[in-house]
Homo-oligomer: A and B are copies of this chain.
Amino acid sequence: MRDRDLNILIGGEAGQGLVTVGQILSKSLVRKGYSIVVTQSYQSRIRGGHNSFAIRVGVDEVIAPRKSVDLLVALNGDTVIQHRDHLSPEGLVILDDSFGLSGDSFLKVPFSELSEKRFSNTVAIGVAGAIIGLDENLMAGTLDYYFGKKGASLVEKNRDALVRAVKWATENSISGFMLPDFSNPPRRLMMNGNEAISLGALTSGLRFCAFYPMTPSTSIVLNLAGHAERAGIIVEQAEDEIAAINMAVGASFAGAPSMVATSGGGFALMVEGVSLAAMTETPIVIVVAQRPGPATGLPTRTEQADLEFVLHSGHGEFPRAIFSPGTIEECFHLTRRAFELAERYQGPVFLLTDQFLADSYRAVTPFGIDQLSSIRAGEQASETSNYARYAITENGISPRLLPGMTEHLVVADSDEHTEEGHITEDLTMRKRMVEKRRRKERGMRSEVVPPDLVGEEDADLLLLSWGSSKGAVTEAASLMRSDGLNASTLHFSQIWPLVPENFMDILRQAEKVICIESNATGQFARLIRRETGFNIEEKVLRYDGLPLTPEYILREMNR
């Protein structure tokens, strides 16, 4: 496959700048028109330890990470030791000859001859880039993009190092890794899941975001903060997660479309606020980027074990919607959908992602900003003279005016309330209000995103999945199909509400169904049974903190 599909892994210590190396190579690849899937693996520390940045690059579309490595770029000796076992048969290790390591497929680069130590990352980029056929100018342009702000002299020196590295690699003419050129390369953007979510939010009309830092959600808000001035939004770091969600509820109530982003432990502190948003019928988008728990768990790894927690978060009963994007495009578009639904149904809407997707850079087709609509909070005027914030309606949706924007008074209450929003202990009203709130779920059900079927409707083997594993599961099934098996995949990018009519036929027609999840108990399989009675006995589960890969799925299925 190495001619159309390469897996490059850059490894080193935290603090060595391997993410920059990875980003520059990735961006160069994307600019050239290739498809990429990045998998970042790092520890909960700032310096030292062992991190990696893997770029799977394809001439055709690649959709999942791959475990076997074709090109291992070792920024330290430890990387060689940790990853040499994953090297593919014809794989190559690019390393500094000063490491003093030797091996069959080792390309020892004389880093110290090619540049000063502080530019050795640029040398790594140059050598690796040249080997896979990246043009020197292309790489230089990307280098400028990343280092431009740091001053002309630094840019100059980096360029020098790059030139020398490319020259050295060309002279040593390493073959077998050259990717084909494009005659007409597609224009693509490079972004990871968190960036796509923040851009989705901005295009939707987000105006306010409050947060308390928590890996792997933080880069969503950092990205927003970086654009805040230009986009005309406010991003505020709260004193804690409780404050974050309450601020967002306040801002949204006043009319600013709002979002919070966090991970398991931080979300745990928000669940009272989720219930508040539901009771006061205030729109809010909540991103939960999952990592392995319980408690602090593994802060920088990935998992899908908070589905049931998020689905039942908050005391009392109320409707909600949960999206679980499977691609970067879905991160963008489902965030937009989340804002729409939150506004339409006036309550909490969730995006459930995880560390893998959050940090996974990919190439995406530009979104066509001009065609995208954005939401507007609330209604601008009331038709009635007796405005009642919680008027009981047939679809459960009450007119939402914004306080201070008309002469009508807007009264919201976390207690059970009258149609006017005032606290009540009238138990008949209570019952009507419960029913009104519940009726909103009907609307939500009518517009769920149906699961995505790839393959035949009546498969011998149906792989069920949700969220970030979409690519891995799809690729696993496609590999099985190449092996002659009639395998299909049914992937859920919205996991609540579930509308069985959308998928029961497919489940029933399949000879065998396997549910694939990154958790230890098969939460989605359980949910399917709860909602449909359909029992999925076989599962492929992963809970060691690493993302699902096609290899992992195939290996587990063959056990």
Contacts and interface: CB of A to CB of B under 8 A. Distances in A.
A295 B317 CA distance: 10
A218 interface: no
A297 B416 contact: yes
A427 B308 CA distance: 24
A76 interface: no
B279 A296 contact: yes
Number of copies: 2
B280 A295 contact: yes
Interface stretch (A112-120, A370-378, A529-537): A529-537
Nearest to A347: B294
A272 B415 CA distance: 24
Interface stretch (A166-174, A445-453, A476-484, A519-527): A519-527
Interface string A308-337: 110111111110000000000000000000
25 contacts: A49-B425, A264-B275, A264-B316, A265-B275, A265-B315, A271-B271, A279-B293, A279-B294, A280-B295, A292-B430, A294-B315, A294-B317, A295-B315, A297-B415, A309-B314, A309-B316, A311-B312, A312-B313, A317-B519, A317-B521, A427-B544, A427-B546, A438-B520, A533-B534, A533-B535
B279 A416 contact: no
Interface in A378-417: 413-416
B309 A312 contact: yes
Chain A: interface size category: 35 or more
Task: Select the residue from A295, A317, A416, A527 with max chain B CB neighbours within 10 A.
Answer: A295
A314 B313 CA distance: 9
A106 interface: no
Contacts of A299: 415
A315 B264 contact: yes
A527 B311 CA distance: 14
Contact of A316 (B297, B415, B434): B297
Contact of A530 (B265, B267, B425, B529): B529
A506 interface: no
Contacts of A275: 264-265, 268, 293-295
